[in-house]
Amino acid sequence: MNKDEPYISKAVIARLPRYYRYLGDLIDDGIERISSKELSSRMKTTASQIRQDLNKFGGFGQQGYGYNVIYLYNEIGKILGIDKKNNIIIIGAGNIGQALAKYADFEKKGFIIKAMFDIDKDLFGKKIREIPVYRLDDMESYLMQNDIQIATLACPKDNVDEIVKKVVNCGVKAIWNFTHTDLKVPKNVMVENVHLSESLMQLSYKLSSSLAEDNL
């Protein structure tokens, strides 16, 4: 990103993957051009929001002509940093770690899971969909010898501070965190949390407050 580029709000960034998903679906449907109006109706948002959001990144559209779907898809991909490969390791080869490893869809978006690490010696040397499971003790030497962009934490939260320290010391700048804890990382290390229990609690809140409203 260039210094001259405008500040992009969190809300816009959070919407970009959704644009990317819808544009991918349009490509699958063989649609080459789409107006902001038609795209907004599919996405249940407003045409003006779409124009505003995409203008932040230089527009991409032509008045009265709509967006070139493949071009816009690729440009958003570049903004999201998925035009290049992101190599990933998964720490913790338990249920969540294995489910992520088996999920081939990430690869289509350039996220390549290269290795998993665990402390369970029964898992050492096993492969989960071609992805090898190594000893957690070997993680640092692996990270020093391989080009890894993202570390996924799918381990119990007990030793997570120590693991994060090692990962960060080895130069990894992005952590995808499935543990139920807030990580302590330096400012230049990016974290994205997936707190499944908390997501379920938010759903439970919505449900219980909507049922209470029905009963008024």
The C-alpha atoms of residue 202 and residue 16 are separated, in whole angstroms, by 23
27 binds a copy of itself (CB under 8 A): no
Min dist. Cβ of residue 168 to a copy of itself (A): 13
Which member of 3, 48, 54, 123 binds a copy of itself (CB under 8 A)? Answer: 3
176 binds a copy of itself (CB under 8 A): yes
79 binds a copy of itself (CB under 8 A): yes
Q: Which stretch binds a copy of itself (CB under 8 A): 50-58, 115-123, 132-140, 171-179?
A: 171-179
Q: Which of residues 38-77 bind a copy of itself (CB under 8 A)?
A: 43-44
Number of amino acids touching a copy of itself (CB under 8 A): 62
Mark residue 31 as left, alpha or beta (left: phi above 0; alpha: psi -120 to 50; beta: remaining): beta
Tell me the three-class secondary structure of 84-118, residue by residue: CCEEEEEECCCHHHHHHHCCCHHHHCCEEEEEEEE
What is the contact mask toward a copy of itself in residues 80 to 119, using x (rule: CB under 8 A)?
xxx---x--------xx-xxx-xx-xx--x-x--------
How many CA atoms lie within 13 Å of 96's alpha carbon, on the beta-carbon side? 17
Q: Residue 131 contacts by C-beta under 8 Å, 6 or more apart in sequence?
A: 90, 101, 113, 114, 115, 116
Q: Would you tell me which residues interact with a copy of itself (CB under 8 A)?
A: 1-3, 13-14, 16-18, 20-21, 43-44, 79-82, 86, 95-96, 98-100, 102-103, 105-106, 109, 111, 149-150, 173-176, 180, 182, 188, 190-192, 194-214, 216
